[in-house]
Amino acid sequence: FVVGPLHFPFGAPTGLSGRVGGICLARRNGARFASAPRVFRQAARLVSKAAEIEIQGERDTFEFRVFFRDEQGGYTSPWNDVPLYANDEKTLVTMITEIPRGTTAKMEIATDEKHNPIKQDVKKGVLRHYKYGPSLVNYGALPQTWEDPNEVNPDTQCGGDNDPVDVIDIGSETKEMGSIYAVKPFGVLALLDEGETDWKVLAINASDPKADLINSVEDANTHFPGAVDEVREWFRMYKTAEGKGENQYAFDGRAMDTQYTFKVIADTHKSWKGMVDGLRGV
């Protein structure tokens, strides 16, 4: 892992010029930048840990990267520098969008690269795309979390997948890659991927018009009928398009409740902190 400095840069977007892939761009010394969207629009605290994103390379190339910068222009890690919790009550968490709804490129935070940019995953020398179909949801990661492969979960009987926790936003707004915003968790699926626990936190954009109505999986089923079932089935089946078998779930595929979800989040946050402290020799 590349952890980098654990600083907490507050910032606001700089001047803008141009667009790439729907993201507003700014320029500094000839480099391309995109201002991160305003993150937390609700009455909780409004904070931004990454004032700009810097796009390097072209999409669908091995060189493509989305870097994050603070308002002083320094690189900042979306995994390590952005806080997990988005309000003091710890009822909202922060989401880093990797794969916007309707896209197929398998993007992820590069945990093994300096500054942890977003890049396209590569398998057997080929850039990965979902072959099963475009993502049904905004898909991303929870910062300051880590699924420890050496820690066997007593419920799933599997270790973690060595990545930040995945988060799924079922809300109505399609977000851009690199968007950082507050989401409200309401459930979690325990995907078992090749012998590893791969948590999928179910959430809704805290700014969604229906966010106040969603406090449980049951609420999501009422106000977004079929959404949780569609997500569950999509992740069960998507690897079959690559000639592999179906993915399995713990708990017979049941989405666990909010209390369990926040325990998963807290436990993986603790694992991340332990990993960082260990790398720093704390």
Rounded distance, CA 61 to CA 48, Å? 29
Q: CA-CA distance, 102 to 109, in Å (whole number)?
A: 19
Distance, in Å, from the CA atom of 98 to the CA atom of 73, rounded to the nearest integer, reads 22
85 is catalytic: no
Give the span between the Cα atoms of 26 and 195, in whole angstroms: 43
Whether the CB-CB separation of 51 and 14 falls below 8 Å is answered with yes
Residues in the chain: 282
Annotated catalytic residue within 130, 132, 238, 260: 130
Dihedral (CA of 167, 88, 266, 112) sign = positive
Tell me the C-alpha to C-alpha distance, in Å, between residue 54 and each of 66, 74, 95, 237: 6, 11, 18, 34
| Alpha carbon distances (Å) from 179 to 46, 135, 141, 218, 222 | 14, 16, 11, 27, 27
- As annotated, the active-site residues are 130
